Amino acid sequence: MNLPRSDFTPPVDLLATPGTGPVRARRPVYVDLQAPCNHACPAGENVQGWLALARAGREQDAWRALLADNPLPAVHGRVCYHPCERACNRTQLDSPVAIHAVERFLADQAALEHWPAASPAAPSGRRVLVVGSGPAGLSCAYHLARFGHTVEVYEAEAHAGGMLRFGIPAYRLPRAVLDEEIARIEALGVTFRFNSRIDDVRSIQQTGRFDALFLAIGAGVATHLEVPARDAARVVDAVTLLHGIGAGERPSLGRRVIVYGGGNTALDAARSARRLGAADTLIVYRRDRAHMPAHASEFDQAIAEGIQFRWLTTIRAAVGPELLVEQMTLDADGRPQPTGQVERLSADALVLALGQQTDPAVLHRLEGVEFTPDGGVRVDATLMTGCPGVFAGGDMVSGDRTVTVSVGHGKRAARHIDAFLRTRTVRESPAARLADFAGLHLPFYSDAERREAPLLPAAARTAGFAEIAASLSAEQAHYEAQRCLSCGNCFECDQCYAACPQQAIEKLAPAHGYRIQYARCTGCAVCFETCPCHALEMTDEPAQP
């Protein structure tokens, strides 16, 4: 039996001899691999790091670690589709850690208990203009302010938030939660100028003497579809509908509403229509469920709220209170093809949810700015456009259009803008190897059922726009943080320390890990085999000089 380190006195002969190190073929070394959750996070959060702090009961430190990467944890805890959880190694053991729910808990606790955030750096004397206050613009402004730069945000609307406010319904993201996080950004010294639509960026830059610009005007223009209509039911695009609801409007759509589209915006529009009084809401989509881009959680909630679906159907025309629709079929590549079979569906309103695009007109006066074939702004690896000092991110840049991707763009752009202003280059750290499930040793882990945030009963959800999901309790959040396997990083579980038959593992101060005394190590690999998180590896013994 191994004695605790403090009670162990090595025999004299062990102290006087070099041990068995010279005869080893392999030796253990501590490694620091990248956790798959960190790798999958578009916002660049150190998920594993703040989960470890939460697991240790250090909630305020965990929240501040979150804020170091992401200024909107309460938002992300509600609306992010958590790719980190899809990547979580625990999925192969039982179920992923509820990372987004712990993130929300920390953010909600911070708001409830008024935890203080970190202060910005000393003023740099440099000024940066951010155009647009959606997630990319807010993130960039926040990080730039933390670097000490003076930041002004120009926003065309009367309030900040962009699509967070005018695209995501309040039942998913309460406006008070959004306002709380924006206020934290404003407290860093960021100035917001509302009702300030910019037609000439260069003129504003020169007038305001800005040293750099970040463009994040978003994708607020709906993709249009020409639907022949004659005395038709009301036709509205989903972007306009959700924008109006976000601004406080409550339009009357009638009893039967049909939404045309298959993305998350279509689901938001249909679920909002139910809350506006539509008793019969139908989503028409030209492909099937397997090809629907909407996220599974949103789809499941829509089904629970009574939203109906009509698959493999496209709309050809609107005639009076009816829609002429055609049945489709999928070819071998999954593309919808017409069948010629048509029928009529009645509707009081048709909502078109067929995608969104940016309006890049504001950029055409900027020399050197180029556009991609899909209408996005072309940027380099630093997110700078072809115009020096002008950066762009969020929905303006080609790629996935999600809140988390946009927040990541804002953070990355801020780092490179800071480097640009200080005439230096950002040094990117080499990517660490991923810690996969096969490399973990989990003999003492048992199934631990995932804790889910409670939802309002389905019947109560559609009564209004109140938030439908609650936060985890403190006990549940701590439990979920403990479910983290700490993939690839030592969490000081003492397994190696206790298992070493030669007492070759030296335990250092808390949070400083361990040190291997190779003069005692035989290379038996017991420490490696008992390390649950792959924080140890066996490597070839270095050649003797």
Instruction: Return the top range by mean pLDDT from 233-237, 361-365, 454-458.
Output: 454-458
Higher pLDDT, 357 or 292: 292
* DSSP code of residue 317: E
Strand 191-193 with 229-230, pairing: unpaired
Residue range 135-148, pLDDT digits in tens: 999 999 999 999 99
Tokens coding 126: 């440099």
Provide the percentage of residues in the chain whose pLDDT is more than 70.
Answer: 91
End-to-end alpha carbon distance in the chain: 37
Q: Which of 284, 298, 297 is nearest to 225 (CA)?
A: 284
Q: Is 362 strand, coil or helix? A: helix
Give the chain's radius of gyration (CA, Å): 28
Q: Are 477 and 54 in contact (CB under 8 A)?
A: yes
Residue 134 has pLDDT above 90, yes or no: yes
Q: Are 351 and 236 in contact (CB under 8 A)?
A: yes
Residue 242 has pLDDT above 50, yes or no: yes
**What domains are there in the chain, each with its CATH number?**
5-32+490-540 (3.30.70.20), 222-356 (3.50.50.60)
Q: Are 385 and 378 in contact (CB under 8 A)?
A: yes
- Residue 545's pLDDT is what? 63
- The pLDDT-based confidence of 227 (bands split at 50, 70, 90) is low
- Measuring CA to CA, how many Å separate 278 from each of 102, 145, 229, 257, 267? 35, 45, 22, 6, 14
Q: Which of 288, 258, 271 is nearest to 352 (CA)?
A: 258
Tokens coding 339: 């069948």
Residue 18 has pLDDT above 50, yes or no: no
Q: What is the rounded CA–CA span in Å between residue 189 and residue 149?
A: 9
Strand 191-193 with 150-154, pairing: parallel
- Residue 97's pLDDT is what? 97
Q: Which residues contact 69 (CB under 8 A, 6 or more apart)?
A: 43, 44, 45, 46, 411
CA dihedral sign of residues 68, 71, 73, 78: negative
Residue 254 has pLDDT above 50, yes or no: yes
- The pLDDT-based confidence of 228 (bands split at 50, 70, 90) is low
Lowest mean pLDDT, pick from 180-184, 189-193, 450-454:
450-454
Return the exposure string of 190-203: e unless at least 16 CB atoms fall within 10 Å of the residue's CB, then b: bebeeeeebeebee
Q: Which residues contact 165 (CB under 8 A, 6 or more apart)?
A: 157, 159, 175, 178, 246
Q: Which of 276, 273, 274, 264 is nearest to 354 (CA)?
A: 264
Strand 26-30 with 536-540, pairing: antiparallel
Q: What is the rounded CA–CA span in Å between residue 536 and residue 33?
A: 10
Question: Tokens 């009509």 appear where?
Answer: 310
Tokens coding 513: 């890990």
Tokens coding 270: 């249909």
Strand 308-310 with 212-215, pairing: unpaired
Q: Are 161 and 79 in contact (CB under 8 A)?
A: no
544 C-beta neighbours (distance < 10 Å), count: 5
Q: Which of 42, 30, 53, 33 is nearest to 484 (CA)?
A: 53
- Residue 235's pLDDT is what? 86
- Residue 5's pLDDT is what? 32
- Residue 444's pLDDT is what? 59
Strand 336-346 with 390-392, pairing: unpaired
Q: What is the rounded CA–CA span in Å between residue 59 and residue 342?
A: 58
Q: What mean pLDDT, rounded, does the chain reach?
A: 89
Q: Are 214 and 200 in contact (CB under 8 A)?
A: no
Amino acid at 529: E
Residue range 74-129, pLDDT digits in tens: 999 999 999 999 999 999 989 999 999 999 999 999 999 999 998 889 999 999 99
Q: What is the rounded CA–CA span in Å between residue 486 and residue 435?
A: 10
- Residue 300's pLDDT is what? 94
Q: Which residues contact 164 (CB under 8 A, 6 or more apart)?
A: 75, 79, 134, 135, 173, 178, 403
- Residue 397's pLDDT is what? 87
Residue 498 has pLDDT above 90, yes or no: yes
Q: What is the rounded CA–CA span in Å between residue 150 and residue 146?
A: 10
- Residue 220's pLDDT is what? 59
Residue range 395-451, pLDDT digits in tens: 888 777 899 999 999 999 999 999 999 998 888 778 789 999 999 998 756 678 899
415 C-beta neighbours (distance < 10 Å), count: 19
Higher pLDDT, 371 or 9: 371
Average confidence (pLDDT) over 210-215: 95
Q: What is the rounded CA–CA span in Å between residue 149 and residue 421?
A: 9
490 C-beta neighbours (distance < 10 Å), count: 18
340 phi, psi to nearest 5 deg: 85, -5
Q: What is the rounded CA–CA span in Å between residue 423 and residue 289?
A: 51
Q: Are 29 and 539 in contact (CB under 8 A)?
A: yes
107 phi, psi to nearest 5 deg: -65, -40
Residue 231 has pLDDT above 60, yes or no: no
Residue range 473-484, pLDDT digits in tens: 999 999 999 999
Amino acid at 142: Y
Tokens coding 531: 């390390």
Strand 322-330 with 313-319, pairing: antiparallel
Average confidence (pLDDT) over 171-179: 97
Residue 222 has pLDDT above 60, yes or no: no
Question: Tokens 């999954």 appear where?
Answer: 334
Residue 6 has pLDDT above 80, yes or no: no
Average confidence (pLDDT) over 8-35: 64
Tokens coding 78: 């509600």
Higher pLDDT, 106 or 229: 106
